[in-house]
A and B are shown apart, each in its own frame.
Chain A
Amino acid sequence: MSDNPSVAKAGNGRMLEVKNLRISFFTQDEEVKAVNDISYYVDEQEVVAIVGESGCGKSVSQLATIQLLQSPPGKILGGEVLFEGVNLLKYQADSREMQGMRGPKISMIFQEPMTSLNPVFTIGRQLVDVIRAHKDIGEKEAWKLGVESLRVVKIPDPETRMQSYPFEISGGMRQRVLIAFTVACSSKLIIADEPTTALDVTTQSQVMELLLKIVDKNRSSLIIVTHNLGLVSRYANRIYVMYAGQIVESGRSEDLLVRPKHPYTLGLLKSVPTLNAGKEEKLVPIKGSTPNLARLSDKCAFMDRCEYARDICRGSPGPMLRSVGTGHDLRCYIDIKENS
């Protein structure tokens, strides 16, 4: 029942394939439809970006794929998460199979390096614990592997750093330590959730370059979840744009960034301040604000903010995804002629 036409040709070749994922959060009064039937895939050695603003469901969907979702109040209502052909959702969150997934197969880097590391243990301790949780090696060997991982992520003086506590090092370094966890486990798929938001610009650049280098070296794949379109432009092969819990446009980076077809994508591109614009080019904001996910109608979620909305949008239920080019899918009734 996939409504993503490009996925139709899926075989077992895909490293990760998510089909029709639905997640809601249940509070005492209402159901917040955080993720409303999304499907996407990641191939080997690809960098895929999931783009959207806060509240669109991008982070929640990633947490769900590795079953790190807080289960009340969140609940996965349906769908499949196929990693190398195996549906991860059929396992319990804390089962041996899932634990075996997290780390060696899939790892995740979170946004806040401050809170992702346990402040009362040294970095070395945490690194060794993670390594030994996934590899059957002794303490000494794990330690060496830890040091090597730190070296790979370019942390100066790795042996000494193993003894440091998280609060003794900077935010950028902490983020690198998190990447070191990934390196140590040689994950095949890395999910980076807003990996650069808490960092300085020059550090952001270093961290991203590092991540890419590792992905390249290990032949892994990378999912970047972000609202930073620049990041996406520089690093991603393919992009999924999310709005109000759905994917509204997806395709190759070039297609989406140069010839976007969804009004939201177009709106985002026009409203983001960019370095090389002339001063006369005014920012064109998207009017209004994001909808309340507890009160979604069955019509297009973007309609009230859309400049291109027409009668067909108001009269019909929300559009389905349709193909508008090779690998380019769109959830919209309108064909925008204008190019950005």
Chain B
Amino acid sequence: MLRPPEPPRPPVIAIVDYRAGNLTSVRLALDELGRESVITSDPTAIAAAERVIFPGVGAAGAAMRNLAELGLIEPLRRAVAGGRPFLGICLGMQILFDRSEEDGGVATLGLLPGRVARFRPNDPRDKIPHMGWNRVRFVRPHPVFEEMPAEGFFYFVHSYYAAPARAEHTLGVSDYAGGEFCAIAGAGNVIATQFHIEKSGPLGLRMLDAFARWDGRAAPAGARPC
């Protein structure tokens, strides 16, 4: 079914506040890029924003309860369905999927098909959480990193990782605890990073800048299908 085009919105980026961690660094990174942002848990402000950043640290169960209590689940679904550029970060990436095994199993937003599993390292020297800078390889072209080198280091802090059900939703990968995991997922107007793009130095800032300029279409104009 065809949707009527959405009205133009002022160039404000809504940073969704659902009591799931520190949002200051996301706002400071956008400040440095000269992009106006608002930290908000107000569905009206989220609906009015040109694009949405969905960050988050902490546990999936508590995050889903907070989203429900704050009445944010439907506004987030509408933001994604409306085609606006949408960026999930860390826990904000994980809960876009169907289900997380955290907290004994939690049904999450189901905006991307797949599940979230815990790292199970065989070597006790692989500490949990996976904390620090790890190499990410971009495995599928995307406007948000089309001007980036093929790989780079980004800052991670997490104990769980997303496993997209569809291979084409994995846009970038990294390695930890004896295997490869999805570091960047995306489909349509949604892109999500397991790493903290806002704390990943100049490279993260470049990627955030590209997100802030992205029109929400997955394939760059004239790009070859992959």
Q: A and B, one complex?
A: no
- A residues near B (Cβ < 8 Å) are none
Chain B residues in contact with chain A, CB under 8 A?
none
